């Protein structure tokens, strides 16, 4: 049973500008080590980070909470399996809230072009 759907769109140029202006601050507050390593390994780092940012936003929207109730950006981690398929893991306050809602599966789809990145997240009970 689907209990939440979220979608988000990020302008990749805006992410690139944020990384140029506030690289360390953005990286530390929003992304984990694994997300940074993956994105930097792919070249065009800002495209991959923009997609991950969109996935985090889409997750918060799917919960119906936004970034609230004590959750942080780093509570949501976007990873890729061996085949390249993205998946989300959650921890801390995001895990507590998702568990209280009965979330058992998190589905995520990412896309990006030179201009925009998008993500869709579906929460299943």
Residues carrying an active site annotation: 61, 112
Nearest of 62, 34, 65 to residue 49 by alpha carbon:
34
If DSSP codes are grouped into helix, strand and coil, which group holds residue 38?
helix
Interior angle at CA 75, CA 119 and CA 49, nearest 5: 40
Cα–Cα distance between 21 and 35 in angstroms, integer? 19
């Amino acid at each position: 049973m689907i209990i939440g759907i979220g979608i988000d769109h990020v302008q990749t140029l805006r992410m690139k500008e944020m990384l140029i202006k506030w690289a360390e601050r953005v990286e530390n507050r929003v992304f984990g080590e694994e997300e940074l390593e993956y994105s930097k390994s792919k070249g065009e780092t800002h495209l991959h980070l923009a997609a991950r940012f969109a996935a985090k936003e889409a997750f918060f929207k799917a919960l119906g909470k936004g970034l609230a109730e004590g959750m942080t950006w780093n509570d949501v981690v976007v990873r890729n399996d061996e085949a390249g398929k993205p998946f989300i893991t959650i921890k801390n306050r995001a895990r507590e809230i998702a568990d209280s809602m009965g979330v058992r599966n998190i589905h995520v789809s990412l896309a990006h072009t030179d201009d925009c990145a998008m993500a869709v997240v579906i929460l299943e009970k």
